Structure 1
């Protein structure tokens, strides 16, 4: 089977699933909004496969993510908007347009120049679409739907491009301490719950800033921390089972002991 035939088969499968005459009832009920959570989930599963270094899983998860693209394109086609090949044409045109140093005569010496050119071209594209009724903000174009940690880092990087950034990491560390102290102040009984939300948010934002200055991706760091927590707690549960115990408040001391042992085995 040719590669074109494989693409055609995938498109035919989705068309069949969405066929009002004999299609899948679940698929027929879906809309862009109801499918969105699945699209985001598949993207995260791609990320997990990459983090685990599992090529087999990555192949499968990329297939699942591709299906989401095909699903959205099919629904748009049904509404007379666009189809899958319009999506392909759009991204092909965009990649050629945004890489003049590859597909044109422009000479860009390094990745920093490439990045600056990319952002300039994006701004020009938005202007052509009439999206810039007022002067464009430095922070324009950072999608609201991004995970909060990812969006925080992107906002900080945008501001840093125009010099709104700490000159040295020591200032960022001091800021984290300052935000932690302000969080502690909201622990008082009379504290406004809204203030607690704001101060915790400021603390998290400053931690993302610290990660950025340390050259660490905050989202990946937290994902890795989640994995470590799951692994260690799994070892705690296994150790308790060997003693005929189950996780419970009354086993707190033993759970902490086993946690320390599990952490020590990692190092």
Structure 2
């Protein structure tokens, strides 16, 4: 016998209750939903997060709303699974984040004065250490992609005052790392290179560039992704133009491909 679906809500509280009711119905009656575990949902949650990221970069508000809903579903799903083992439930989850936000915003809920967002970040990291964190960097997930991880490491170090004083110092470091890499691994020198050492030097160069990006308020992950998208768009134009001419890319010269590539740059 079908279950009566909860009706559309008209405020945030009842809309959240509607989602919880649906989640409970699915967990109890749907074979797929009954089968899921924290572990089985994990990779799906990561995928949904990247889909939200794509929607944000595209500026598609309809898709952003949709992807936020998907992620919200995952959050209540995890909480429902936690409630079945009596480890936690959605109320525990919500109270936990509320308590943390209150505790880490003493300039709002206490008597601490701040002058700007940097003061807020500094207080946040100091409070985390008082809560038991052994390292300022302890909150950086080990599984983060390296580019994002480098950004978060630098932000957290900045939060306790470990940072360059101005961007000119950071750029000097970029130039220093670039020169070290160029000197050590000059492309004009055909001698075999020490791959491990080259990798380390290249990592240092990337880390310094990410640091500079942070100083000029550029998110390196977003910047690189936009460049990826730009390259894909231009390369697909190149493929389409070659197809129109009845040609295969692998049979074309670089000069021939450059004609269509430059076309794409002007679109």
Report the Cα distance in structure 1 between the residues aligned to 2:185 and 2:78, rounded to whole angstroms.
Answer: 43
Unaligned runs of 5+ in 1: none
Deviations 1:107-162 (A, max 9, x none): 2222222221122222222x2xxx5xxxx334332222322112102222334554
* Equivalence map 1:82-101=2 (5 Å): 82-101=88-107
Counterpart of 1:14 (choices 18, 23, 27) is: 23
Distance 1:117 1:101 in 2: 9
Distance 1:180 1:28, change over 3 A: farther
**Offset, 1:232:** 0.8
Residue 182 and residue 33 in structure 1: after superposition, are their counterparts in 2 closer, same or farther (change >3 A)?
farther
2:44 to 33, 38, 53: 38
| Aligned: 1:73 with 2:89 | no
Match of 1:114 in 2: 120
The separation in 2 between residues aligned to 1:239 and 1:152, in whole angstroms, is 39
Question: Which runs of structure 2 are paired with 1:247-266 in the superposition (5 Å)?
Answer: 248-253=249-254, 254-263=256-265, 265=266
Q: CA deviation at 1:16?
A: 2.6
Flag the 1:212–1:112 CA change in 2: closer, same or farther, 3 A: closer
RMSD, aligned α-carbons: 2.6
Which of structures 1 and 2 has the larger relative contact order (alpha carbons within 8 angstroms, sep 6+)?
A: 2
Please show how residues 150-229 of structure 1 align to structure 2 within 5 Å: 150-160=148-158, 161-163=160-162, 165=164, 167-182=169-184, 191=193, 193-229=195-231
Length-normalised TM-score, structure 2: 0.81
TM-score normalized with structure 1 length: 0.81
Q: Please state whether the residue corresponding to 1:228 is helix, strand or coil.
A: helix
1:105 counterpart residue number: 111
Query: How many pairs align?
Result: 252
Report which stretch shifted further, 149-158 or 86-95: 149-158
| Residues 182, 86 of structure 1: alpha-carbon distance in 2 compared, 3 angstrom cutoff | farther
What are the within-5 Å matches in structure 2 for residues 229-248 of structure 1? 229-246=231-248, 248=249
Structure 1 residue 12: deviation in Å? 2.4
Deviations 1:154-177 (A, max 9, x none): 222334554454834123222133
Pair 159,94 (structure 1): closer, same or farther in 2 beyond 3 Å: closer
Contact 1:183 1:199 in 2 (8 A): no
Distance 2:129 2:21 in 1: 37
Contact persistence 1:183–1:200 (CA under 8 A): no
Between 252-261 and 115-124, report the one with greater CA deviation.
252-261
Q: CA deviation at 1:237?
A: 1.6
